[in-house]
Amino acid sequence: MKRKIIQSEKRDTSAGRLQQSGQKPKDLNVHARSQWQWTWTNMFLLSLCIFSASIPFLLHIFSASIDLSRPSDIGLNHTINMYLTPEQGVRVGVWHTVPEHRWKEAQGKDLDWYEKALGDGSPIFIYLHGNGGNRSAPHRIGIANVLSAVGYHVLVMDYRGFGDSTGEPTEAGLTTDAVYLYHWVKARSGNSLVCVWGHSLGSGVTTNTAVKLLEQGKQFDGIILEGAFLTGRVARDQRMEHPFTWFYWKFPYIQFYLFNPLKNNILVFPTDENLQKLQTPLMILHSEDDHLIPIAIAQEIYRTAKKAQNSDKRVKLVTFDGSLGYLHNGLYKDSGLPNIIREFVESLMT
């Protein structure tokens, strides 16, 4: 009985407070739910930010645990590992993946077979990856698999100082490594097309390499730039429009600083200046939601290259809708990418 009286008194007291404040019990419930919704929403967004920030770390841990000399350990059963020596004291690791239709034939084959396979007439892509990590990063394997499925050879190199490659990474050194790989491929490829695909930091290495080859009277048959930037300074300092802008703005161009051998070196990579010297067919790929390099940079690259080559046909810009969620590294997931690549390569043959 006493307990009932106390509860009744509490109800009366609460009702009095509600009457004084002008609030109804239902209003309080709505307010409480609103507070909980606000709290959970913020907790969710914070967790999402933390997860997004941890992705580079998780990818680094994953790739660092792989024996790069054994690509078959991660399912690359038509890929061989090799080491090249672009300069004395420098050894760079390279994966060569043959066209998918030759995967059965490739089983158990040695390096000599893979070298001879480069002369089978299939187009060849040299893939120059972005900063941080190594050639086993999932998005790099993804691009190699797409190119192989279309019917092309793919050579993915870890620059000096990256992965299991030796040497001190510098802008000049990375360019030297790429130039060497081009000549190594050309010495074995016969009349096959030799193209280059540069992603992120690799786009700067690509245009540096293309200009260096031009000085030697050589050139790639085609160039693809994915997630490219204009200069190293733009890539590090450009503010990003993205739900997690605050994170990337607080830690500018995070990939240049996180697990990146180049982080203590001065970088220039004058892509804008390089493009003004080139007449090589070029395709630019960029996701509209790229959280590291804004789509506006790709559009500026397109205008620069188009003006230099004075051609709508030799320079193409292909953008991917931001709703697809590809960000900076996910274009390999697009189902339409194989046809986009195939059409570009076929245009080089006409």
Judgement on whether residues 42 and 127 belong to the same structural domain of the protein: no
**Residue 290 a catalytic site member:** yes
Asked whether residue 221 carries a pLDDT value surpassing 60, the answer given is yes
The reply to whether 347 belongs to the active site is no
* Percent above pLDDT 90 for the chain: 67
How are beta strands 153-157 and 124-128 bridged, if at all?
A: parallel
The residue annotated as part of the active site, out of 139, 242, 291, 328, is 328
| CB proximity list for 35: less than 8 A, separation 6 or greater | none
- Which pLDDT does position 350 carry in this prediction? 83
Cα–Cα distance measured from residue 317 to residue 17, given in angstroms and rounded to the nearest whole number: 66
144-180: pLDDT as tens digits = 999 999 999 999 999 999 999 999 999 999 999 999 9
The stretch 309-323 carries a mean pLDDT of 95
Residue 4 CB neighbour total at 10 angstroms: 8
208 plus 287 within the same structural domain: yes
pLDDT digits (tens, 9 = 90+) for 37-69: 656 655 655 554 444 444 444 444 455 568 999
The answer to whether residue 7 is domain-embedded is no
Is the pLDDT score of 243 beyond 50? Answer: no
Do 288 and 321 belong to one domain? yes
Q: Which domain holds residue 248?
A: 71-348
Q: 278-298: per-residue pLDDT in tens?
A: 999 999 999 999 988 999 999
Task: Kindly tell me if the per-residue pLDDT of 24 is higher than 90.
Answer: no
Q: Which of 274, 299, 133 lies closest to 204 in space, CA to CA?
A: 274
Active site annotation includes 47: no
Which among 200, 242, 272, 287 is annotated as catalytic?
200
Which one of 153, 290, 291, 334 is the catalytic residue? 290
For residue 6, is it within any domain? no
Order of strands across the sheet that contains 315-320: 79-87, 90-97, 153-157, 124-128, 194-199, 222-226, 282-287, 315-320
* Alpha-carbon span 103 to 95, nearest angstrom: 15
Does residue 196 fall inside a structural domain?
Answer: yes
